[in-house]
Amino acid sequence: MAGPAAFFAVFFAYPVAAIVARGLETDGTWRFGRIAEVLAQPGIRQVLWFTTWQALVSTALTLLIALPGAYAFARLDFPGKQVLRAVVTVPFVLPTVVVGTAFLALVGRGGLLDELWGVRLDTTVWAILLAHVFFNYAVVVRTVGGLWSQLDPRQEEAARMLGASRLTAWRRVTLPALGPAVAAAALMVFLFTFTSFAVVQILGGPTFSTLEVEIYRQTSQVFDLSTAAVLTLVQFAAVGAVLAVHAWTVRRRESALTLVDPARTARRPRGTGQWALLGGVLATIALLLVLPLAVLVERSLAAPGFGYYRALTREDGGAFLVPPIDAVGNSLRYALAATAIAVVIGGLAAAALARRDAGRLVRGFDALLMLPLGVSAVTVGFGFLIALDEPPLDLRSSWLLVPLAQALVGVPFVVRTMLPVLRAVDGRLREAAAVLGASPWRVWREVDLPLVRRALLIAAGFAFAVSLGEFGATVFIARPDHPTLPVAVARLLGRPGQMNYGQAMALSTILMVVCAVALLVLERLRTDRGGEF
Amino acid sequence: MLLSLREATVRFGGRAVLDAVDLDVAEHQVVCVLGPSGSGKSTLLRAVAGLQPLDAGRVLLDGRDQSGVPAHRREVGLMFQDHQLFPQRDVAGNVAFGPRMRGASRAEQHARTAELLDLVGLPGAARRSVAALSGGEQQRVALARALAPRPRLLMLDEPLGQLDRSLRERLVVELRELFGRLGTTVLAVTHDQGEAFALADRVVVMRDGRIAQSGTPLEVWQRPADAFVARFLGFDNVVEATVVGEAADTPWGKVPVPEDAPQGARTLLVRPAGVRLVPVEEGLRCTVTARTFRGTHVTVHLQPAGAPRLEAACPLRSAPAPGDETGVRFDPAETVVLD
């Protein structure tokens, strides 16, 4: 417990506090007046308003589109379901830069729709909303569908026997049981879209800007640190409130539901209604999830003879000091190191949280662990630069800086994945081992480890994928001669010309393939009690 | 004494679950702790195993104080209520676990596993998955696993609780024979008096964290210490009574008692077999409210006017039907004046 707490204090709380202090403190006096000043600016209010409503609309849209999918994956049995479940999860672990790029290739200038019908959406809010749905579809399917598939259908049957119609039984029995899961999924989606950065950065153009994008602009272009600090605090407060609600719904969801083996609840579709629903779900997945990725791949191949891919290996004197392809190696190295850190820190935290005698304080830490998902990654990245620059923590020139920042985002995933599994290990198994002569260390190795090994691998996989895709913090702290894949993609997109655009597509494709392969390996390891991501 | 508890006390949030319990178990003895759920009997086992720290008192094994000795160094075996077999290991992996923790060589582990699986009647089950075992087989594997490291003391928590009746009755006999043959010292807890009486050399009845009575199965059965023990053993004909000479004054009228019965205000127990049905005019007038078939006899529930209900055991053929009127007389040989 002390380890994870210290890690978060040094590498999360301290940098964020440092940058807030830098913005709001001059000569030892705090200028809290700045908060009111900044919030009074019409431009900032515009950003706040847009951030909130796009997150609300994105959340509603995601629920609307993904809930039928959750039902289909939970209760219907169809060929290729396993593979499809992996496919819908791919967007979630895809780097947001790739998501942005993919939608740009679909609805942007010179995109597929532009070519076919002259339709461009990249100047409208629809591109952002659709990208958010694309990204978060899996959150709803996995969180809600995961619970739905484990709800005992006999509960509904019992209601039917007591005289409830099919619809009434669903409304009175299933829906209340699902309610907390739907709320939790909605909150997660809201959180991710509220703090959306790369997607809005790429698709929003100059018109649309979220808090996170504005923080980035204020920090790196306008150099107005005090405005950035205020915005960070605002985002922090909003995210804190959302997380508090999330923690509350999670606790309610853990209330006693009788869960059964998901394999027993799914059936072949029956009747036109179910077939139509399944067809609709499959069409949605094809159009919304698969098509953008397919277009991305197609664009990356537009130059004859893999021209864009071959161009990646060439040294170019522009924004890169090294061939862009080097970013692949950098990304993999950083992500592996970040994964190792995240698994150790997250594993220790999960083990502490899983203890039955965990006190209030420890359980409060549970919610705190989620904060890095919501606190501005840009702030964390910039905070790293200004806070970790003097001994004993002078890490500015250390390669470890990037993995440390990436691990912050990975830890919540590790905790979320490990916690349910660790909690499910029957304490009396450990006692049985102790009575048979196993020391506490042996108990952990002989009882806990074999039971959580798969969850540990899955957690590592997720941590790897999100580390690979981390952009907001990395963009600040990656050294120019050591860019990561998402950073390289963003730089290529930021430069004019067909060649750069094509290379961005090619690099995104590579990134997507790496993530997808990691994910498909994970899907084979999926546990019944896997986490909610 | 192999095991001694001295004023062992465990409190959960102020409530004493074990309340200054003194208990001795001699070597090769089979002691059964009997009590309703919540009487603290499982806590007693956990305290001896070192899984539950004592708030006061001591646990001694071979005369040595065990406070500060962690569970894995106490060398006692515990068979859990629902077995707690390790799901990720096969049968042999489970049985060999204890010897392995104690540093046995691979060959020793193998030999010990084979020996024990033979002993519990599952030869050749070594490579089976524990999930594929039936309830009775799981119980045998759990027993083999607990015995494998040769514990000084074997403890059983509701050893047969989850099995069906016929299997339970067979296994009780098997266990009894096995412990006799091996000379194992056993401390078992159960809520089933049939199981306790069949298994134990000595029965300890617990109530609210205290020991209500301790003795041989015969002693406890014949002379329950108090109304609680009598009722827990399944006797319902228990009333307050005033004993004068060889008769007791009860709500059921005068009841004859054995000649050496203690005198004064007492609790009186009449076993069902001591409630004799006679023609209405010859005894206490009762209405039959129900009758329950028990295999060898019928239990007849009787309602006397203005007095507590009575249970009578009578032969199948002569049992009256519900609604019938009958008379009742009491047999002093089946009557016990409790202390």
- The reply to whether A450 and A503 lie within a common domain is yes
The 10s digit of each residue's pLDDT in B74-118 is 889 888 888 888 887 889 999 998 888 888 899 999 999 999 999
Select from B82, B86, B149 the Cβ nearest to the Cβ of A437: B149
- The reply to whether A330 and A279 lie within a common domain is no
- The reply to whether A222 and A345 lie within a common domain is no
Note the pLDDT of residue B305.
87
- Residue B188 host element (H or E): strand B186-190
- The reply to whether A19 and A40 lie within a common domain is no
- The reply to whether A13 and A37 lie within a common domain is no
Whether residues A450 and B149 touch (CB distance < 8 A) is answered with no
- The reply to whether A471 and A349 lie within a common domain is yes
Nearest-CA distance A450 → chain B (Å): 7
Note the pLDDT of residue A390.
66
Domain count, chain A: 2
- The reply to whether A520 and A502 lie within a common domain is yes
Query: How far apart are the C-alpha atoms of B309 and A198, rounded to whole Å?
Result: 81
- The reply to whether A5 and A126 lie within a common domain is no
- The reply to whether A495 and A476 lie within a common domain is yes
Note the pLDDT of residue A316.
59
Question: B236 is written with which tokens?
Answer: 């319902």
- The reply to whether A81 and A137 lie within a common domain is yes
Select from B71, B74, B84 the Cβ nearest to the Cβ of A428: B84
Whether residues A436 and B149 touch (CB distance < 8 A) is answered with yes
The chain B residues in contact with chain A (CB within 8 A) are: 49-51, 70-78, 80, 82, 84, 86-88, 97-98, 101-102, 145-146, 149
Q: Calculate ∠ Cα A7-A13-A16, nearest 5°.
A: 135
Question: B interface mutation test: which of A357, A428, A429, A436 has the most B CBs within 10 A?
Answer: A436
Note the pLDDT of residue A419.
77
Note the pLDDT of residue A474.
81
Query: How far apart are the C-alpha atoms of A157 and A166, rounded to whole Å?
Result: 9
Residue ranges of A 414-433 with Cβ closer than 8 A to chain B: 426, 428-429, 431-433
Note the pLDDT of residue A530.
41
Note the pLDDT of residue B216.
93
Its domain, for residue A7, covers 1-29+303-533
**Which residue on chain A is closest to B78 by alpha carbon?**
A435
Whether residues A428 and B88 touch (CB distance < 8 A) is answered with no
Note the pLDDT of residue A451.
78
All CATH 3.40.50.300 domain ranges of chain B, comma separated, are 3-225
Query: How far apart are the C-alpha atoms of A217 and A475, rounded to whole Å?
Result: 13
Note the pLDDT of residue B214.
93
**Which residue on chain A is closest to B145 by alpha carbon?**
A436
Tell me the ipTM for this assembly.
0.77
CATH number at residue A133: 1.10.3720.10
- Chain centroid to CA A132: how far? 11
Poorest-confidence range of A122-131, A363-372, B2-11, B212-221? Answer: A363-372
Q: Give the fold, CATH level 3, of B3-225.
A: Rossmann fold (3.40.50)
Q: Which residue has the higher pLDDT, B209 or A397?
A: B209
The pTM of the full predicted model, rounded to 2 decimals, is 0.70
Whether residues B80 and A442 touch (CB distance < 8 A) is answered with no
- Where does a domain end: A300, A316, A345? A300
Note the pLDDT of residue A318.
56
Pairing of strands B76-79, B153-157: parallel
- Where does a domain end: A248, A265, A300? A300
Residue B187 pLDDT grade (very low, low, confident, very high; cuts 50, 70, 90): very high
Q: Which residue has the higher pLDDT, A327 or B271?
A: B271
Query: How far apart are the C-alpha atoms of A186 and B236, rounded to whole Å?
Result: 59
Select from A435, A438, A447 the Cβ nearest to the Cβ of B76: A435
What is the mean pLDDT, run by run of 10 residues, along chain A of 533 residues? 75 78 70 73 81 90 89 82 78 78 76 70 78 86 78 72 73 77 82 82 77 80 77 81 73 56 70 82 84 81 72 61 74 87 86 69 66 74 75 67 83 79 79 88 84 78 81 78 79 76 81 77 55 41
The values of phi and psi at residue B160, to 5°, are -120, 15
Q: What is the mean pLDDT of residues B135-144?
A: 89
All CATH 2.40.50.140 domain ranges of chain B, comma separated, are 235-333
Whether residues A429 and B97 touch (CB distance < 8 A) is answered with no
- Where does a domain end: A245, A278, A300? A300
Going by CATH, does the domain composed of B235-333 fall within 2.40.70.10? no
- The reply to whether A101 and A215 lie within a common domain is yes
Note the pLDDT of residue B153.
92
Select from A429, A437, A439 the Cβ nearest to the Cβ of B86: A429
Please state whether A464 falls in left (phi above 0), alpha (psi between -120 and 50) or beta: alpha
- The reply to whether A291 and A430 lie within a common domain is no
Half-sphere exposure of A499 (CA within 13 A, CB side): 8
